[in-house]
A and B are shown apart, each in its own frame.
Chain A
């Protein structure tokens, strides 16, 4: 349907980059194939129960040796993501149900307590300190010093989130380390008051540094989802500046959006308002 000279037509005839081309990248060839297959399994491009391309097919398509292909498949097999059946091929496994936590931004304040209840926490740091320059830049209204609360959250024994909250020193002094438990930071702050009524979140992806990789049990440089948030009370005063790093294989962040019903164009998007009173789904 595209006209002859369209860029799409040209693009189609261009071969997809094969892993072989990138050699001196510090990334093993097998890892490059592994990452392609792993992303395809994660996003469902290769659906559970369906067959993966055969070893000779993968080896031809990506111009890789059979040994390299096998190594990529072995790693996926060790991670329990594929099953290899002798004589019939390699198949994508069904991801175990409820193996992943889900955070819904459209029902954020309602979900936080239930996530806290399903998970366990260890408090790594709880002390007043001079704010790191990065945080002060992010939120100058917090002042020079703040209480830092660093916690590691686990789900079914697997660490999935390393969070750091900075709260005003006066508020931090009213908290007790052992009362932090697995309770969400919002709940802890609400007990002291005033209530948090809004938050500003920024999501990004970062490579795990030495601290995050140790705490979360992932390789140095592995991708993590970073959420930064500023929590405020009804008068716009800062309750906390927060940053969490989450393992993408353990946590999903979802948001249901809708267009605001106003006459002005373009109509902006917002989170879909959800029932807050009861826990009924």
Chain B
């Protein structure tokens, strides 16, 4: 039985092996200085040819993630693991600024658009027009999250690129007297498309963490919808769940 490294996936087999190995190196599953499995072992493990394994290893070596020592094997280089400085565990709806002082934000788009159909279908009250904001947040030199935000037309005049500064849209709106009190989140994994791959500096097809979130104020008015795409080696979502004590929920929507 072999793993499905099928060429029909549109991703070359060596690329698939490369993705899995570079993940093992980045997460420390293969620790710094530790030997990688031998070529024949990798061939068996992934059900691919020796050439494919070599090509994946050549790419890791070219990137400087591994060192190949003739006669003794292939070893993980040190300093790959993102610990401390970059790797952050964040709570459900934290402002990224709170997890690191050296976060930067780059505005990629700030424009009025027609509200996309997917928002109108789910939340018709969003309105026909919206403000689209797209930004990239980095911690140090590492891009962490690409956010695509839609703000309903009535709130749009309050915001400007200057007013936004490094604040998140929800923080900026909060300062303007529009406080988010409820949010609905959906979390999943997605493959990086060429657009997110370019900004988050990862290969097309890499696994990214996706959070889609709708926030409302106390009166139930929509404040924004945000689609976040996170690089999983820089960000994890954390949630603590207490078992219910029979408390009544407020009326669901």
Contacts and interface: CB of A to CB of B under 8 A. Distances in A.
B185 A11 contact: no
A179 interface: no
Given A17-B198, A28-B11, A214-B3, A201 B239 contact: yes
A214 B243 contact: no
A256 B182 contact: yes
B231 to A, nearest CB: 9
Nearest to A42: B190
B12 interface: yes
B186 A207 contact: no
B209 to A, nearest CB: 4
Contacts of A254: 184-187
B246 A276 contact: yes
A244 to B, nearest CB: 12
A228 B197 CA distance: 25
Interface in B152-167: 160-162
Given A203-B236, A204-B209, A258-B181, A273 B11 contact: no
Contacts of B122: 44
Given A47-B117, A209-B20, A219-B16, A252 B186 contact: yes
B220 interface: no
Nearest to A44: B118
Given A26-B14, A201-B240, A248-B188, A223 B107 contact: no
Interface stretch (A116-124, A142-150, A155-163, A192-200): A192-200
A171 interface: no
B232 interface: yes
A44 B214 CA distance: 15
Where chain B touches its partner, the secondary structure class is mixed
A255 B4 contact: no
A1 B238 CA distance: 37
B249 A105 contact: no
Interface string A241-274: 0000000100111111111000000001111111
Contacts of A75: 10
A253 B208 CA distance: 15
A59 B195 CA distance: 17
B125 interface: no
Contacts of A223: 189-191, 206-208
A178 interface: no
A42 B183 CA distance: 21
B9 A31 contact: yes
A257 B249 contact: no
B16 A205 contact: no
Contact of B195 (A16, A217, A275): A16
A95 B209 CA distance: 22
A12 B188 CA distance: 28
- Most B Cβ at <10 Å: residue of A11, A134, A221, A269: A221
Interface string A109-145: 1100000000000000000000000100000000000
Interface of A: 1-3, 6-8, 11-12, 16-19, 21-22, 25-28, 30-32, 34-36, 38-39, 42-45, 47, 50, 75, 105, 107-110, 134, 195-210, 213-214, 217-226, 248, 251-259, 268-277, 281
Ranked 7 nearest A-B pairs via Cβ: A44-B118, A31-B10, A26-B15, A276-B244, A8-B110, A223-B207, A205-B189
